[in-house]
Amino acid sequence: MKTIHVSTTINGDPAEFICTPDETLLDVLRNRLGLTGAKEGCGTGDCGACSVTVNGRLVCSCLVLGAEAQDAEISTIEGMADADTLHPLQRAFIEHAALQCGICTPGILVAAKALLEKNPDPSDEELRYWLAGNLCRCTGYDKIIRAVQAAAAEMRGA
Partner 1 sequence: MALDSYQKRTFKQVGTRPNRPDGVDKVTGRAMYGADATAPGMLHAKVLRSPHAHARIVSIDTAAAEALPGVKAVVTAADFGVPEDAFLRDVQDHCMAREKALYDGHAVAAVAATTLAAAKAALKLIKVQYEVLPHVTDADEAMKPGAPVVQAGRAYENVPAGMSENVTHHCEFGHGDLDAGFAKADHIIERHFKTAATHQGYIEPNACLASVTSDGKAELWVCTQGQFFYRTLCAAILGMEASQLRVTASEIGGGFGGKTMVYMEPVALALSRKAGRPVKLVLTRDEVFRATGPTVSSSMDVKIGMTKDGRITAGQAVLRYSGGAFPNTTVDMGAQAAFAAYDLDAVRTFGWNVMTNRPKESAYRAPGAPLSIYGVESVVDELCQHFGLDPLKVRLLNAATEGTKSSYGPTFPAIGLKATLEAALAHPHYSAPLGTNQGRGVSCGFWFNFGGNTCVSLSVNTDGTVGVTEGNPDIGGSRASISLMAAEELGIPYEKIRTIVADTSSLGYNDVTDGSRVTFAVGLATIKAARDAIRKMCSRAAKIWGIDEEAVEWVDGAAVPAGPNAGKFPPMTLAEIAAVSAETGGPISGHYEVNADGAGVSFGVHLCDIEVDPETGASKVLRYTVFQDAGKAVHPSYVEGQMQGGAVQGIGWALNEEYIYGADGKLQNPGFLDYRIPVSSDLPMIDTVILEIPNPGHPYGVRGVGETGIVPPLAATANAVSRAVGVRMTELPMSPPKLLKALEAKG
Residues in touch with partner 1 (CB under 8 A) = 1, 20, 30, 35-44, 46-47, 49, 76-78, 80-81, 86, 90-91, 93-97, 99-106, 109, 125, 127-129, 131-146
Q: For residues 112 and 93, is the Cβ–Cβ distance under 8 A? A: no
- Give the C-alpha separation, 39 to 102, whole Å: 11
Strands (DSSP E) found in the chain = 4-10, 13-19, 51-54, 57-60, 73-75
Q: For residues 145 and 99, is the Cβ–Cβ distance under 8 A? A: no
- Give the C-alpha separation, 39 to 72, whole Å: 21
| Minimum CB–partner distance for residue 124 and partner 1 (Å) | 8
Indicate the residue among 7 and 66 with the shorter CB distance to partner 1.
66
| Minimum CB–partner distance for residue 19 and partner 1 (Å) | 12
Indicate the residue among 38 and 58 with the shorter CB distance to partner 1.
38
Indicate the residue among 71 and 139 with the shorter CB distance to partner 1.
139
| Minimum CB–partner distance for residue 157 and partner 1 (Å) | 21
